[in-house]
Structure 1
Amino acid sequence: MAAKIIKVLIPVGVIAVAVVLAGGLMSMRKPPEKKDEQRPAVLITAQPVQAEDLVYRIRSQGTVKPKLETNLSSEVNGRIVEVADNFIEGGFFNKGDLLVRVEQADYQTNVKAAEASLANAQSALEEEKARGRVAEEEWRSFTDGKAPELGLRRPQLAGALANVRSAEAELERAQRDLKRTEIRAPFAGMVKSRSVNLGQFISRGNQIGTIYGTDIAEVRLPITDNDSAFVQLPDFTDDDIKPEVVLTAVVGGEVMQWPAKLVRTEGVLDERSRVIYAVAQIVDPYQRDGNSDKAPLRFGRFVQAEVLGDATSQVVVVPRHLLLAQQQILVVDKDNQLQFRTVQLERTDDRFAYVRSGFADGDRLATSAIANPLAGTLVRVASEQTEQVADKSGADDKSALTSQVQE
């Protein structure tokens, strides 16, 4: 019986001792050291906020077209006997150059006939003048007093004078028709198209071709209501307002620019696009005067335009993609924390926002793409980190150099 009790008590005793030892060891164990978790600040890029004075440049675009475009038509009937070599598509000509000549024989004959009719009428007029003088002398030799008009042949003299004037008009008409057989250029330009050829019979009113004037080219530039507030658009009441324009296009893989001037507006808003069209003019677009070594600005070329607008001062130019909703911009303040600044805008375009006010001292524009930014978030600016590393590296190099010198 006693042996059985001993067998039971031994395991129980062992367990009790083990529990006591475990409790003692646990009471002697030190609790783990608590450390605050520190998250590293977000590394971003930023740029300083700098106010500047600038002149607004209004961006637009358009197609180059000639100021003068004329359809040439014949004013006489006849067969074409001469066509100028440069009267061909793309050919250039000067003002007064002969383009087409119509057969002149019939019109020269009409001139001669008109000259003969005029000579006969002038002869009849001189004869009537002589008869009138004779009639006046005869009247005075027989009686005193005022002679009647019919007696002095005044009606016949008036009729003869009318015949002379009619003959002169016929001669002028015949000479004009003869001159019109030569179709000459009304201005310097180039040929767009030609619709007649040598030996072809043409009638009065037939179109012979279309020509462009090359002295001045024009570009219609759409200007929005927002942009029109920052440029002085010319009108017909003030000829001095002609803003400068720079036209840009890629010609043969090279970016070319041409100067122009804004000379007028079309005066009404386009009903569909709600823009007003301003017209810029380019002098001598084909460089025919030889005063420039630039490539010619050909008609039909699509160009980008920058119109020189109004001047402004102390505005901050911000890339447009940095402008958030409700006119807010994400910045890094002087404590390196993200903040949302509500700014006052002066103007925006497709590339930039021009800020008049709203920034605080020490603000920098946050240019990095930050997912779900929160105000007050601590950040590190990449440029400042680079400068700190460079300064530390420079200091280490200086210390090492000093140690070497001492050794």
Structure 2
Amino acid sequence: MAAKIKKILIPVAVVAVAIVAAGSLSSLRKPPEKKEEQRQTILVTAQPIEQQDIVYRIQSQGTVKPRLETSLVSEVNGRIVDVADSFIEGGFFNAGDLLVRVEQADYLTNVKAAEASLANAQAALEEEKARGRVAEEEWRSFTDGTAPELGLRRPQLAGALANVRSAEAELERAKRDLARTEIRAPYAGMVRSRAVNLGQFISRGTSVGVVYGTDIAEVRLPITDNDAGFIQLPQSIDDPVKPEVMLTAVVSGVMSQWPARIVRTEGVLDERSRVIYAVAQIEDPYRRNTSGATPLRFGRFVQAQIMGNATSDVVVIPRYLLLAQQQVLVVDTEEQLQFRDVVIERSDEQFAYIRSGFLDSDRLATSAIANPLAGTQVRIAGTDNATELAADKDGGAAVLTSQVKE
């Protein structure tokens, strides 16, 4: 019986001792140190807001075309006996250069015949003048008074004079036809297309080819009503106001530029696009008189930057920073986010030009912030911010200092 009791008490005693030991160890364990969690503020980038004096640059685009385009047409009939080497697609020529010559034999004959007719008419006129003088002398030798017109052969004299003038006109016509056998360049330019060749018979009205003038090229630039308010466009061809334009295009992988000027507008709004077209002119586009320069070929599509009106005291910001309802996000003196209602003078694809609405102490927030709220505390990148956390636990003090430098 005593052995059984002993077997029961020993395990109970062991468990009791373990419980007492665990309680003692638990009472000796130091509780974990508690630290207050500090919530970090949002890190943003901001820049000072500065007013500027600028000149507006209006963006447009267009295709380069010749100012002069002429379809050459034959004014005589005949066989082509000569074609200039430069009269070929892409060939250049100067004003007055011979391009095509038609056989002249028949027209030289017509000139000689007209000269002979004129000589006969002039001889007849001189003869009639002599007869008139003889008739007047005979009349005065037989009687006094005024001689009749017919007696003095005045009508015959007038007829002879008319024949001379008619012969002169025929000679002028024959010489004109002879000159028209040579088709010459009306101005300096290049050949767009050629429609005839050596030995071909052409008649009056036959198209010979199309030529372009290379002295001046033109570009039609569409301008919206909004943009037109920031450009001083010429009101007429004689208007001395001619805004500067810089044309740009990529030629053979290299960005090239050509200066130009707006010389006129087409005067009416396009019915479909509701824009007005300004015409810019470029002198010597093919650089025939300038060595080493990149030519601006007809048909090339170019970007245009038009120099507009000058303005002062505006704030220029990237367009993407402009929020809905014409608001801009700024950081105030207390480093909190705020929304500012601004007055926009103009905006384009890249920038917004703000006339007013900012405070003197505002800084423009340039970071992308999801769902910004007015009054949110922020940290500005590029400045030193110190945050101190103090704790006094168990007679000790812990200080945490963090600096942000970005």
Report the TM-score when normalising by structure 2: 0.86
Query: Which residue matches 1:167?
Result: 167
Taking a change above 3 Å as real, the CA distance of residues 237 and 248 of structure 1, as seen in their structure-2 partners, is closer
Amino acid at match of 2:375: G
Superposition map of 1:3-22 within 5 A: none
Query: Which residue matches 1:142?
Result: 142
The secondary structure found in structure 2 opposite 1:326 is coil
The secondary structure found in structure 1 opposite 2:239 is coil
- Residue 273 in 1 paired to residue 287 in 2? no
Note the C-alpha offset of 1:36.
5.7
Cα deviation 1:239-274 (Å, max 9, x = unaligned):
210011111111111111111001000000011111
Distance in 1, matches of 2:385 and 2:62, equals 46
The secondary structure found in structure 2 opposite 1:280 is strand
Contact 1:334 1:361 survives alignment (8 Å): no
Taking a change above 3 Å as real, the CA distance of residues 387 and 225 of structure 1, as seen in their structure-2 partners, is farther
Superposition map of 1:371-382 within 5 A: 371-382=370-381
Note the C-alpha offset of 1:47.
2.0
Superposition map of 1:123-272 within 5 A: 123-236=123-236, 239-272=239-272
Query: Which residue matches 1:301?
Result: 300
Contact 2:385 2:404 survives alignment (8 Å): no
Note the C-alpha offset of 1:363.
1.5
Q: Which moved more, 1:172-181 or 1:244-253?
A: 244-253
Distance in 2, matches of 1:261 and 1:195, equals 35
The secondary structure found in structure 2 opposite 1:168 is helix
Distance in 2, matches of 1:387 and 1:129, equals 122
Amino acid at match of 1:182: E
Let me know the Cα RMSD of the aligned residues: 2.4
Query: Which residue matches 2:319?
Result: 320
Q: Percent identity?
A: 76
Taking a change above 3 Å as real, the CA distance of residues 354 and 249 of structure 1, as seen in their structure-2 partners, is same
Distance in 1, matches of 2:287 and 2:203, equals 37
Distance in 2, matches of 1:387 and 1:237, equals 67
Contact 1:331 1:339 survives alignment (8 Å): yes
Cα deviation 1:257-306 (Å, max 9, x = unaligned):
1110010000000111111000000000111112x532001111111111
Distance in 2, matches of 1:171 and 1:36, equals 116
Note the C-alpha offset of 1:383.
2.4
Note the C-alpha offset of 1:207.
0.4
Structure with more of its chain in helix, by fraction: 1
Query: Which consecutive unaligned segments of at least 5 residues does structure 1 have?
Result: 1-17, 395-407
Query: Which residue matches 1:342?
Result: 341
Note the C-alpha offset of 1:38.
2.9
Taking a change above 3 Å as real, the CA distance of residues 117 and 387 of structure 1, as seen in their structure-2 partners, is farther
Taking a change above 3 Å as real, the CA distance of residues 78 and 174 of structure 1, as seen in their structure-2 partners, is same
Distance in 2, matches of 1:85 and 1:112, equals 31
Distance in 2, matches of 1:121 and 1:44, equals 102
Note the C-alpha offset of 1:50.
1.1
Query: Which residue matches 1:55?
Result: 55
The secondary structure found in structure 2 opposite 1:384 is coil
Taking a change above 3 Å as real, the CA distance of residues 34 and 361 of structure 1, as seen in their structure-2 partners, is farther
Note the C-alpha offset of 1:385.
4.9
Amino acid at match of 2:372: P
Taking a change above 3 Å as real, the CA distance of residues 387 and 310 of structure 1, as seen in their structure-2 partners, is farther
Distance in 2, matches of 1:215 and 1:197, equals 27
Query: Which residue matches 1:3?
Result: none
Report the TM-score when normalising by structure 1: 0.86
